[in-house]
Structure 1
């Protein structure tokens, strides 16, 4: 596959980084003001993560590092990897604000083993909205397996592939499945000036992105084929951002968004864990 998608998406994410670091949704200043502060995503993940103190861990597609720094605050020795140099520059600032010792490395995910080394990590962590930028889920799974030490663990919480298949622009309570659930050879091409957090009216100029969905079965099979053993899979009816405007409400118990009408209709996110033999 051509690497054009990397260049296109990198330009978009370089711009997003400069907007996101000042956005209320990321609450970057809280890392300086409160030594106990954790990102919303990691706070949600914490009961399933367990004790990660002393682990060598890598956060793939770390963006501006708020989740990476949060994991460091839980005691892991963290490395953050991202393909956007602007994101990494902002991530280093966030780590400095937080007083966190985190190594940030520039690479696309498929090059992670080459730049970081094989069988180096006890934990590979991937967060919300990451693997949709991967055109080949099998190659992603092989990369994860290559990074893990024997006995090491993958932890991923992601948008559910059913959520990614829904057209968020449809009005009313009906959920309209209009986009692929399964991985396709060609990407979905988007042209959007806005991003997923409130940026105070600031918009993007590099508006085009390429993304891919991956069915849950495709993800699990790819991990099996890469030599990993599934140890946990939980589907959630909440999501950290307003993914379906007009259809969700903010649940204060979890500080996450849930369908207002008949929430049992749709899984919004999932948590998956797997280990390398």
Structure 2
């Protein structure tokens, strides 16, 4: 596996970018926190089905942002959830949201730390479920280190669950999603300086430098296997959560390619487990 390349300021630039966008996200229609407080469930249907019943289990959510998915798992019955994010404002927002839902620290707690430092930062050494939600891995340069860290936090008999945008989408042209336009195997960091945010494209922002990476499906699966987890399944999905390509149509709550077009994978999900101790 190739050694990742990263600008020296990647972490500081990304943290500043996310810190500035937290208040925008809190007030946005995209996250719609008023509706979430009334019906607190932000999870996708395939995630709920694939993770299964979380009643009585502990769950660690890596790169949790403002905690909607974390709290959704708590309210689906998880005994205790812990969310981790490197943005202090995001963690504070998550704590406030948990309190507004009547979830105390014994049920839902949040930690401000870099994901690579998670093993030292979270309150327990292992969890029944380690969960990573959509749009997280692209912010990390070293997928091997991520896999080693995440795997170390899976309890015997537990599993890691990951739902992500499919790396194939990074190779397709932005307008149609119908032709190969970029290198699928590129390890070059992608540096962007666009203002605004996906939750409000017209928002006035100052900290606009961000650094992302693409990770092939093979690299993600291989990293988890090398970290000692057994891949239980890898599912590819023909849906996505936003208008990734101009040609996508919104149907049944998701964005899809037109019905008369050949389909390509737009998202994927996987579960990788740690065998019970003998």
Indicate if the aligned counterparts of 2:196 and 2:205 stay in contact, CA closer than 8 A: yes
Indicate if the aligned counterparts of 2:197 and 2:203 stay in contact, CA closer than 8 A: no
The TM-score with structure 1 as length reference comes to 0.89
2:152 maps to 1:150: no
Q: Say if 1:200 and 1:3 are closer, same or farther in 2 by CA, change over 3 A.
A: closer
Q: Aligned equivalents of 1:58 and 1:183: distance in 2?
A: 30
Structure 1 counterpart of 2:99, from 77, 96, 100: 96
Q: Say if 1:230 and 1:263 are closer, same or farther in 2 by CA, change over 3 A.
A: farther
Q: Say if 1:180 and 1:276 are closer, same or farther in 2 by CA, change over 3 A.
A: farther
2:111 maps to 1:105: yes
Indicate if the aligned counterparts of 1:164 and 1:179 stay in contact, CA closer than 8 A: yes
Give CA-to-partner distance per residue, 1:42-82, whole Å, 9 cap, x none: 44411111101111111000001111110111111100000
User: Map of 1:199-238 to 2, 5 A cutoff?
Assistant: 199=200, 201-238=202-239
Q: Aligned equivalents of 2:220 and 2:138: distance in 1?
A: 11
Which residue of 2 is the match for residue 260 of structure 1?
258
Q: Say if 1:190 and 1:242 are closer, same or farther in 2 by CA, change over 3 A.
A: same
Which residue of 2 is the match for residue 135 of structure 1?
141
Q: CA RMSD in A?
A: 1.9
Q: Say if 1:266 and 1:52 are closer, same or farther in 2 by CA, change over 3 A.
A: same
Indicate if the aligned counterparts of 1:42 and 1:71 stay in contact, CA closer than 8 A: no
2:118 maps to 1:116: no
Q: Say if 1:87 and 1:167 are closer, same or farther in 2 by CA, change over 3 A.
A: farther
- Distance apart, 1:164 and its partner CA: 2.3
SS at match of 2:53: coil
Q: Which runs of 5+ in 1 are unaligned?
A: none
User: Map of 1:65-104 to 2, 5 A cutoff?
Assistant: 65-76=67-78, 77-101=80-104, 102-104=108-110
Q: Say if 1:259 and 1:187 are closer, same or farther in 2 by CA, change over 3 A.
A: same
Q: Say if 1:161 and 1:31 are closer, same or farther in 2 by CA, change over 3 A.
A: same
2:68 maps to 1:62: no
- Distance apart, 1:3 and its partner CA: 5.3
Q: Say if 1:98 and 1:242 are closer, same or farther in 2 by CA, change over 3 A.
A: farther
Which residue of 2 is the match for residue 46 of structure 1?
48
Q: Say if 1:93 and 1:38 are closer, same or farther in 2 by CA, change over 3 A.
A: same
Q: Say if 1:151 and 1:264 are closer, same or farther in 2 by CA, change over 3 A.
A: farther
Which residue of 2 is the match for residue 251 of structure 1?
251
Q: Aligned equivalents of 1:154 and 1:67: distance in 2?
A: 15
Indicate if the aligned counterparts of 2:169 and 2:177 stay in contact, CA closer than 8 A: no
Indicate if the aligned counterparts of 1:42 and 1:67 stay in contact, CA closer than 8 A: no
Which residue of 2 is the match for residue 166 of structure 1?
172
**Stretches (4+) displaced over 4 A:** none
Which residue of 2 is the match for residue 6 of structure 1?
11
Q: Which runs of 5+ in 2 are unaligned?
A: 1-5
